[in-house]
Every structure is written in structure tokens, then in C-alpha cells.
Structure 1
Amino acid sequence: MRTALALAAAMIAGLVVSPTATAAVPSTDTAELAYHWAPVHYQDTDDSNASADYLSPIDFDGNWTGRDNWENQAKQKQNLRGAAYYSVTENADFYYLLYGFFHPRDWSDWNPLEEHENDMEGVLVVVQKGGEWGTLRAMVTVAHRDFYSYTPSGSPFTSGQENIDGTLLTTTHDGVARPSTFQEAKGHGLYRWDGKDFPGGDGVVYYPTRGAGEVPSGGNDRRVGYQLIDIFAEGGLWAHRDAPATFHSWGTFSGDNGADNAANAPWGWDDHNDKPGRGELATDPARVIRDYFANAGAQSSTYVRNQYR
């Protein structure tokens, strides 16, 4: 009898604390949520060194040393498997899904002063809770020292302290209309995909996969799988946040080709002239959305999940 009463009490307690949770997607199922909303990623390539524009894990060369990635990119092209690092942060009303795309080089074919070892830029996808997977409302992309904001058709979000930079387009993959992102060759600034072909006609289209990432067959491969890697996986990126071989300082990768120590992880991303602070796109995404958008609902910084904190 005590067991039955305890079970009933637990069930009642669960009903009391969970009215704001998404109906059919448990909050703990972050991997499936991240896969569902993972972008179809249009990566431009430059044919003078196309493999330098391929996505890869940070440890593609078998180590977490930041100062040998430039050299090993050229030596280990077979290991440049598509990858994106992700995290899921949530409050009572929204999911904030962050995706970071890594390249071993930020490079130039004519100006070495613009180059640096390691490069990670990315996107924050904002999903309002409700229904099976929630509803896509906005995304904010990272392009060098600037952020860009976009909304899909039908989103109630409007311009806030920053103007909306365009309409978010989607590409259907695995039965899901996904955000579509575009990344430049060489410098790898990340924006929304505008529906057009690649500049110069060559590029790689990456699709999220639940399996291992794939190496493009060349600089104009239009279907390549990329793996989703949890930023907070045991022994992963966040676990190395204080490792001097990987990071020069908080949120800044260690690198010694071109400009030293010039690339940032998500908790080091910063728009150089906007109000949100350094790293807040990852650590306090609701704060960024409050600034960037109006009519955006309850963007509370009281989180039910925020592993950066």
C-alpha cells in the first residue's frame, strides 16, 4: 500500500512541475532535438584549396592540440569528416540550439595577414516549445566579428534593437524542413542560405546524420553527411576548456599560424558593436534574443537547462 501511495504521489508531483514542458519530446532527449533542427549547411569552397573549406572535428588529427591543425589539415585530408558541435539550452518556453562548425584553417589565397589557425563560427536556432518538436522562430549566425539575425516566414518575432537581416529559408531533409545556413569559403563567415547556387558554382552541401560524418569527394560534392557532436560530451570540447594545448585563454583557441590565437569557441563568440556580452550567444541566449527581437515572447534567463553555467 505504501508503494502504491508513493507512486501516486510521484505521479502527482510530476504533473505539478511539468505543465510548460514540450508535449512529446522529453527535455532530456537533447540529441534527438539537436538532430531534428540541425541545419542543412551550404559550404562554399575555393578550388585553389577546397579541402581547407571542409568541416571537421577539432580532433580530426587524433589530438586536442590547437597548434598543429593548420599543418595536419594538408596532411590528413582523409580525416576531414563533416561535423558540427551542438548544445541545447532551454527555459520554460524556448529551446536554444547552438551549432558550431569547425575548420582547421581560416585562410586566404593571397593575403597571409588575414589567415589564422583554427576557425569556429556557428548559429543559434530558436525554437518555441509546444507540439511534438516545437516551432522554429528565429536564428542568429556568427560571421567573424558580427552576428546576423533571421526569421522564417510566419514568425511573430520582429526587429528589436537590431534589424532582422533577412528571411530564414529551409531545406527538407529526413522529412523535416530545416534551417538552411551558408558559410563562405576561406574566411568562413556564416549567414542564412539565400536559395542561390554557390559563388563560382562549386561547394559542399552538408546534411545532418545520426552516424559518422563523411569526407567530401571533392570541392563540389552536393550531399555529404555531418556528425553532431555534443559540446558537453565526456572528454569533449567543454571538457578541454581549460587545457592550454587546446585553448590559449577562456574561449579562445590556441593557434600559431597567421594571426596567433585568433579563433573562438561558442563561449568566446562576440559581436564587436552589439550590446550582448562575449559568449552570451551560448551562455545566455535568451538575453541575446531579448535584445535582437521584439514580440518574441517570454525570453527568460531563468533556465531549466544551461550546461554552460
Structure 2
Amino acid sequence: MVGRSRIAAALSVALVSIGLAAPAPAGAAVGRAELALRWAPIHYQDVDATGSHALGGRSDYLTRVDFDGDWNGRNNWDRAGQAGASFSAAVYYSVAETGTHWFITYFFFHPRDWVDHPFFETEHENDGEGVLLAVQKDGSTYGVLRSAVTVAHTSFYSYTPSGSTWTSGRETVDGTLQLQSSPHDSFQHPVTAQEVQGHGLKAYPQYRINGDGLVYYPSDRGEAPSGTNDRDVPYELIDIFADGGLWARRDAAGLFANLGTFAGDTSGDCGVGTYSCGTNSANAPWGWDDGDDLPGRGEIATDPAKLSAEYFTVPGELARAYAYNPYTAERADLREAARTAPPVTD
């Protein structure tokens, strides 16, 4: 009990310092910010520093959508290459809750999806990949992790940690979700990884660092990497539903081309020396889609209980009615947007 008290106290200090809800006292419900911090991934990011579009490796650094001080999605490719561009590490999250589970979506953003050769690959402005975690309520403070579904371009990959009671459903489980201790707290965190350039995201070690790379750890603050081979980079967590944040700006024409798809153009050197530069090619979580699978566009974030029931065989109850789901009020709009949206190209 002493260990748990120390953990709760440390989390309380961290969360209060960034204006987030402090851990609930014993017997009270855990806060969503605290829950997201508890289960946030330790994240391995491979880095390629070669080629002019790599920006010396910075094109593979995680950062905020508004890293350049504005919410214009059509200038991010160019602004990433300017002196003084901030690459302070950040990951976005949202939490949905049913009577039996919490579902936590994490969104990882890069200003560039890039290549360093001329052969039949397209690069584009903005890049968004991520992971959905399903956490079962078992009476403990933070629950027990049961599964992960990651986003790698236009495909989803499913994983379970060792000892999980969840098994393959309509989709075959693609591997084991590893857990790793963090030097910044006393928890075991799930471990994810992203490839260079296109930034597909899978469970570690299905992607791994090859040479230079970054290891990101969830924290109460974000820091920029000290270089291309920094193995301890703290990242901050940002609520997708924060006032004035990503979801609040979902209809902003400068940021989104349509619901769930970031606006991006061909300005600057995007596509120069490569096959081509795509436009409006990256997606926020409510735009993620694996077209070969049954769940609809964006449902990995907006209806994660449905997706989990499709992807996995779940013993016992997996409640589908939401006690909390900020996307729910927009469900009709999201369904219509999914029906009429252009093909996903990320």
C-alpha cells in the first residue's frame, strides 16, 4: 500500500502541475487524464537523417499539431523545416467508457510523411497514426489491459498482452503486446513503435529502431529530443477534447479538408525528387479506417467497443452502451461523413 500511495502522490503532483485532474482518493473513480497517463505507451521511433526531406531526422520527431504556433494544416510541411520549429514531444488521447471497459485512443502526429527516393511512393503533408487500448474494469484503480489495435497507414493490427483472456475474433491477433517499465514512474506500460518516413505504427518489436532512434516516455511535460539518438524523451499528453483543441477545431477549414482528414497541399519541396506529393492525405482518429474490415471509418475511436467486439473474442461481458463518449453527440454527422468521405490514403 505504501508503494501505491507514493505512485498516486507522484501522479497527483504531475497532473496538477499541468492543470489536469489529480488522482481520485481511495474509493473514488479514477480521472480520465490519470487513466490515460497510466496506460500511455512507451514509444520507439526509428529515425532517418538522410535526404533533404528528413530535416536531419526531425521529420521523424513526434510533436503537436500546432507545433508551429498555428492551426493551419497547409503550412506544416514548410514550417517543419524552418529555424525555431518546435518539436516538443506530445501525444493526443481520448477516453470512452462503458460499464465494463475503458477505451483509450492515442494519436501520434508528424508534420511530414516523407520518402528519400524517386520510386513509386508518395509523400504528403501531415501524418497521423495511433493505437486503441482496451482496459477492463476489474475493481482495481486502473483496470487490466486486454488489447491494442494499432494504425499503420490504411491497415489496423491487433495485439494482446501476455495473460490476456482476449483471443482472435473476426480478425486474427497479430502478436503479443509487450509491457515495459518506465524510468519516470512505477508502472508497466505497453510498448509501441513507428517506422521512419511513413510512420506506420505497430506493437514493438514489429517495428524497431535501426541505428538512430528515439524512445518516448509518457510524462507531465514534453521535451524536444536532444538529437536523433535520444533514448529518453518525455512526452506530454493532450486531451483531444480540450477546450479549443483538436476536436473543437474539427470543422476548421484551414486544419481539416473534411471531417477527420487533415488539410494538406503540395507547397514547398513536398514531392520534389520523389514520385509525387499527395494532398489531404492524413487522418485524425475519427477518420482512421481499415477498408478491408467491418468497422466503419473512424469507429476505432468513436465506437471502440464495437471495434473491440469485432476484432476479438471476449469472454464474459463487453458492454456496448457508453457511460462516457465525447464523440457520441456527433455520431450522426460522423456516419454521414464516413459514407461520403473520399478513400483514405495515409
Aligned residue in 2 for 1:10: none
Residue 35 of structure 1 aligns to a residue whose secondary structure is: helix
Quote the offset at 1:23 in angstroms: 10
Aligned residue in 2 for 1:126: 134
Residue 239 of structure 1 aligns to a residue whose secondary structure is: coil
Q: Hey, what's the Cα distance between the residues in 1 that align with 2:25 and 2:133?
A: 20
Q: Hey, what's the Cα distance between the residues in 2 that align with 1:193 and 1:283?
A: 25
Residue 306 of structure 2 aligns to a residue whose secondary structure is: helix
Q: Hey, what's the Cα distance between the residues in 1 that align with 2:291 and 2:207?
A: 29
Quote the offset at 1:217 in angstroms: 1.2
Aligned residue in 2 for 1:277: 296
Quote the offset at 1:78 in angstroms: 4.5
Q: State which drifts further: 188-197 or 148-157.
A: 188-197
- The alignment of Structure 1 onto Structure 2 pairs a total of residues equal to 286
**Amino acid of the structure 1 residue aligned with 2:130:** G
Aligned residue in 1 for 2:216: 206
Tell whether 2:245 aligns with 1:245. Answer: no
Answer yes or no: is the 8 Å Cα contact 2:30–2:142 preserved in 1: no
Residues 28-54 of structure 1, C-alpha deviations (whole Å, 9 max, x = no match): 611111000000000111021410000
Quote the offset at 1:298 in angstroms: 2.3
Answer yes or no: is the 8 Å Cα contact 1:30–1:88 preserved in 2: yes
Identical aligned residues as a percent: 52
Quote the offset at 1:300 in angstroms: 2.6
Answer yes or no: is the 8 Å Cα contact 2:195–2:208 preserved in 1: no
Cα 1:163–1:76 shift into 2, 3 Å: farther
Quote the offset at 1:67 in angstroms: 0.3
Quote the offset at 1:132 in angstroms: 1.7
Which stretches in structure 2 are left out of the alignment for 5+ residues?
Answer: 1-23, 51-55, 267-276, 329-346
Q: Hey, what's the Cα distance between the residues in 1 that align with 2:43 and 2:121?
A: 28
Residues 159-211 of structure 1, C-alpha deviations (whole Å, 9 max, x = no match): 00000000000111111100000001100000001288512x21100001112
1:181 to 181, 184, 192: 192
Residue 235 of structure 2 aligns to a residue whose secondary structure is: strand
Residue 151 of structure 1 aligns to a residue whose secondary structure is: strand
Residue 112 of structure 2 aligns to a residue whose secondary structure is: strand
**Amino acid of the structure 2 residue aligned with 1:304:** A
Residues 271-291 of structure 1, C-alpha deviations (whole Å, 9 max, x = no match): 020000000001000110111
Answer yes or no: is the 8 Å Cα contact 1:210–1:227 preserved in 2: yes
Tell whether 2:193 aligns with 1:194. Answer: no
Q: State which drifts further: 84-93 or 103-112.
A: 103-112
Residues 228-282 of structure 1, C-alpha deviations (whole Å, 9 max, x = no match): 0000000000010000000000100000032000000000000020000000001
Answer yes or no: is the 8 Å Cα contact 1:23–1:132 preserved in 2: no
Aligned residue in 2 for 1:154: 163
**Alpha-carbon RMSD:** 1.8
Tell whether 2:307 aligns with 1:288. Answer: yes
**Amino acid of the structure 1 residue aligned with 2:152:** A
Which stretches in structure 1 are left out of the alignment for 5+ residues?
Answer: 1-21
Per the normalisation by structure 2, the TM-score is: 0.80
Cα 1:77–1:121 shift into 2, 3 Å: farther
1:141 to 143, 150, 175: 150
Cα 1:297–1:286 shift into 2, 3 Å: farther
Per the normalisation by structure 1, the TM-score is: 0.89
Aligned residue in 2 for 1:6: none
Residue 148 of structure 1 aligns to a residue whose secondary structure is: strand
Answer yes or no: is the 8 Å Cα contact 1:24–1:133 preserved in 2: no
Aligned residue in 2 for 1:259: 278
Aligned residue in 1 for 2:73: 66
Aligned residue in 1 for 2:41: 39
Answer yes or no: is the 8 Å Cα contact 1:70–1:105 preserved in 2: yes
Q: Hey, what's the Cα distance between the residues in 2 that align with 1:196 and 1:44?
A: 8
**Amino acid of the structure 1 residue aligned with 2:319:** S
2:97 to 75, 78, 90: 90
Residue 198 of structure 2 aligns to a residue whose secondary structure is: coil
Cα 1:240–1:144 shift into 2, 3 Å: same
Q: State which drifts further: 75-84 or 189-198.
A: 189-198
Answer yes or no: is the 8 Å Cα contact 2:132–2:300 preserved in 1: yes
